[in-house]
Structure 1
Amino acid sequence: MFNLSGKVAIVTGASSGLGADAARAYAENGADVALFARRAEKLEQVAADIEKMGRKALVVPTDVTNEEAVKAGVQKVIDTFGKIDILLNNAGIAIGGGVEDISEKDWDTGMNINVKGPFFMSKYVVPHMRKAKYGKIVNIASVNAIIADKIPVLWRHNYNASKDAVRGLTMGMAASYAQDNITVNSVGPGLFESEMTEGTLFKNDDFLKGYNFNTPASRPGKRGELNGALLFFSSDASSYVTGQFITVDGGATIV
């Protein structure tokens, strides 16, 4: 049920971290993968890993906040593979600070990458899925879509707002496209080590102690531990599951 053989997946933010891990997981389970991100050299490294598995990889250097670039990138995938079965909207950024501190420019940057990116990608992928009467869209939200931090150094009001917007977009699309055999779901990772967190949260010992104390698993997520949820939502194992939001957080949001 989790087999992705014959499927074509797009992964945004695929140059490093959770996105690169997800792209490799898709390939390990049989999919060919189109890799979207701004850093071409990083994408080439991920593509090499995928090709070693015997799968095809397409590098598509793209800024997901640029509509014309997204449109051209999606067309390149269609021209190369002929279809798109899976879209993982993973590209994201965490802008720190409260509403008193965030500049308008930073606010717009966070919203553009975290919300406009999935919007643009979906806008140009969904028509191909509707035509094929098949599609699996997975949006990466965050536990911070439903929980927040009271400690000032950890305030991320833009991140809270943008990731909850991703949940709302997921529900709206799910309701609209279920009749086309397209499922749309979102995943809320807890704390994982990535390019986004390793230089900030993972360097804050007080935060880590508090996180580990308050999280039932008593630790952050390990590389690869997000992949099970992504594969579930991206495969026919979730054929009757749509509009859902699942957290992968070691239980952090239940206590």
Structure 2
Amino acid sequence: MNDRPVAFITGASQGLGAATAAGFIGNGYDCFLVARNRQNLKAVASRVAIDGAQAAVCAGDLGDLSFAQEAVESCFEQFGRIDVLVNNAAWRNIGTMRQMELEEWEKTLRICLTAPAFLAKWCGEKMQAIGRGVILNVFSIQSKMAPVICPAYVAAKGGLDALTYELAALFGPSGIRVLGLNLGAIATEMSAHYVAENGDNLSQHLRQFAEDMIPLRRFAEPEEMARTMVMLADERANYMPGACLEIDGVWSHQATPCSLKHRQFPQEFSRRCIGNDSQPACRCR
């Protein structure tokens, strides 16, 4: 068996997944990186590699459950163990339920809910053999906030939220902790894909709206989320199975945008809180 713990990370070719790989490797892990784009995976593996650490890559579509199962077996054959599973991979299309096609619905649920469920099953079997392990399910505050423009994604992430409790109760007696991360806005490639029907990119406008609703006045950086995942995988978080943590800068509990609070109480909420295209929004004083 490999002496270093091993993290199996999906959606690892960019954004949050790539940052998570760097975070785990920087904390003494080897990583098995899974995504569709082999070239991007190799670039991530090369970038995060440090002396004494390995970053193996496995390219394929997690919508194909036979590939997903083969990836688990490949990881175990190479490293002899799986200590952490990070169910991070996601896929979505932008459109309302009126526009949704059955094929798009089923693809989204397969990648965002079915694949994580069965990866947990297969990785859990490997973890049971050594009596310990951690499964981290990544979902979204959008599952509770009705964004309207991605119904299948919302349904899948809500399902993954509920599944986290189920798996925590199932695997807990075997020494396997299952936790969820209910994430808010993160500065990744996925947050830049909002386009209007006429082709205009709305991503910057949506970002400004979101930052007006986030008391911290900014999107999270992927590295911040990665540090949280590494922390949750640590033995010091042993008594947290089933926990689903909201990590959103308090967005989901904020009722009033900062710009309106400034109009109500200008002495307490500075106008500088309101950002623009060239100047990031500042924190409230």
Q: Give TM-score scaled by structure 1 length.
A: 0.92
CA distance in 1, matches of 2:183, 2:166: 21
1:161 matched residue in structure 2: 155
Residue type at the aligned position of 1:171: Y
Residue type at the aligned position of 1:227: A
CA contact (8 A) 1:95 1:107 kept: no
CA distance in 2, matches of 1:46, 1:214: 33
- Superposed CA deviations along residues 118-175 of structure 1, whole A, max 9, x for unmatched, are 02211211111111110100011011122223xxxx6221121110001011110001
1:43 to 36, 41, 45: 41
Residue type at the aligned position of 2:207: L
CA contact (8 A) 2:7 2:30 kept: yes
1:192 matched residue in structure 2: 186
Q: Which moved more, 1:85-94 or 1:67-76?
A: 67-76
CA contact (8 A) 2:63 2:107 kept: no
2:164 matched residue in structure 1: 170
Residue type at the aligned position of 1:100: R
CA contact (8 A) 1:187 1:229 kept: no
Measure how far apart 1:53 and its partner are: 4.5
2:262 matched residue in structure 1: none
- Superposed CA deviations along residues 17-41 of structure 1, whole A, max 9, x for unmatched, are 1001001100001100000111111
Runs of 4+ in structure 1 over 6 Å off? none
Other structure's SS at 2:135 match: strand
Aligned-residue identity in percent: 26
Other structure's SS at 2:34 match: strand
Measure how far apart 1:251 and its partner are: 0.9
Write out aligned runs for 1:87-166 (5 A). Answer: 87-149=85-147, 155-166=149-160
Other structure's SS at 2:189 match: coil
- Superposed CA deviations along residues 89-133 of structure 1, whole A, max 9, x for unmatched, are 000023322221111111111111100120221121111111111
CA contact (8 A) 1:86 1:136 kept: yes
Write out aligned runs for 1:21-100 (5 A). Answer: 21-100=19-98
CA contact (8 A) 2:192 2:203 kept: no
Measure how far apart 1:48 and its partner are: 1.1
1:210 matched residue in structure 2: 209
Distance 1:210 1:51, change over 3 A: closer
Residue type at the aligned position of 1:225: E
CA contact (8 A) 1:96 1:159 kept: no
CA contact (8 A) 2:20 2:227 kept: no
Residue type at the aligned position of 1:185: L
- Superposed CA deviations along residues 162-198 of structure 1, whole A, max 9, x for unmatched, are 1000101111000111000100011122111212122
* Aligned residues: CA RMSD: 1.6
CA distance in 1, matches of 2:116, 2:51: 28
Residue type at the aligned position of 2:11: G
2:240 matched residue in structure 1: 241
Residue-pair matches, total: 247
Structure 1: 5+ residue runs without aligned partners?
none
CA contact (8 A) 1:94 1:196 kept: no
CA distance in 1, matches of 2:253, 2:141: 11
CA contact (8 A) 1:9 1:86 kept: yes
Measure how far apart 1:203 and its partner are: 4.2
Other structure's SS at 1:139 match: strand
Measure how far apart 1:16 and its partner are: 0.6
Other structure's SS at 1:228 match: helix
Distance 1:127 1:221, change over 3 A: same
Distance 1:53 1:94, change over 3 A: farther
Which structure carries more relative contact order (alpha carbon 8 Å, separation 6+)?
A: 1
CA distance in 1, matches of 2:202, 2:86: 29
Residue type at the aligned position of 2:208: K
